[in-house]
Chain A
């Protein structure tokens, strides 16, 4: 059954004039937990039909806070606290494999994909943006891999994808310092392809997508497949490293600090 339009609990999509728009819309900052994973899986299942009628996909956020603050750490902490270490590790691996399947599917879509990013684009949210062919960054966007603050590494495929897009020095800076960078820096490093005035990222993404609809879909898909290989082996290794780190004490301590932090600081190092 064709699903040209869908409104789920955490996101929705619609296709018009050869452009699919996937809008993330879960308060407060599109945190990626089970609800969003299920909705993303629905989207991935609808992709074959969407790809037959469109040339471009724009992923953007309707939440003021930003594109996505990443994994739902409150849900993850609650999940760990309710299980023994072995069960938690097994289920986390299962979650990662599901999210990887979805992100890999978006990554390899025949559509030319554009992330229109405003506000926070952290952790898993950054990893979702990195599945896209192009990132249009609002001047107020910030990109970050904060996972080391939690004793982890990015687990949704971020490192292999970031390595694909920017120099290794930039990858080391973001990963090993856990600092966030602004949109100007993102543009300078080649992470973002365009810088938008505040509030204009979606408009610029739509203009870019409209241009893409002028090209032969088959030729665009062939070009994309040629220049953007999926780093499959590294993606598998990333899951293994994440799962090796996950049971260590630093992780539960980091998550507890984030969840129980009563001050205003959670998203700051």
Chain B
């Protein structure tokens, strides 16, 4: 099973690919709304991308209040 670091890395990779930014520009502690300049509709796109990739369901209320990649990763990790 993946560990948290691996999950975090994959999330950063997926986010970079989806929003077409350099992977090196993203770090685990970044606020993804601010760093990527996205709103909640676009955050839902990322959520869908992550659910499809990891094969999990992540209810959006679990993501409420989450804004950094590492915390997002812990939410996903809890469902792997």
Is B51 touching A268 in the complex (CB atoms < 8 A)? Answer: no
Query: Which of A88-96, A174-182, A233-241 lies at the interface?
Result: A174-182
Secondary structure class of chain B's binding surface, majority of residues: helix
Stretch at the interface among A1-9, A99-107, A212-220, A259-267: A259-267
Q: Mark A240-269, 1 if CB is under 8 A from B, else 0.
A: 000000000000000000000001111111
Quick one: CB contact mask for A180-217 with B, threshold 8 Å, 1 for yes?
11111100000000000000000000000000000000
A141 partner residues in chain B, CB cutoff 8 A: 48
Given contacts A264-B33, A264-B39, A268-B64, are A179 and B44 in contact (CB under 8 A)? no
Indicate the member of B33, B57, B60, B64 with the most A CB atoms within 10 Å.
B60
Minimum Cβ distance to chain B for residue A77 (Å): 17
Q: How many residues of A contact B (CB 8 A)?
A: 28
Interface residues in B, total, Cβ within 8 A: 19
Task: Kindly list chain A residues whose C-beta atoms are within 8 Å of the C-beta of B39.
Answer: 264, 266-267
Task: Tell whether A266 pairs with B61 under 8 Å between CB atoms, given A140-B45, A140-B49.
Answer: no
Q: A269–B64 contact, CB under 8 A? A: yes
B43, B48, B57: the one within 8 Å of A264 (CB): B43
Interface check A115, CB cutoff 8 A: no
Within 8 A of A (CB), among B37-58: 38-41, 43-45, 47-49, 51-52, 57
Chain B: CB-nearest residue to A261: B40
The reply to whether B41 and A178 form a contact with Cβ atoms under 8 Å apart is: no
Q: Which 6 A-B pairs have the closest CB atoms?
A: A267-B40, A179-B59, A264-B33, A269-B61, A264-B39, A268-B40
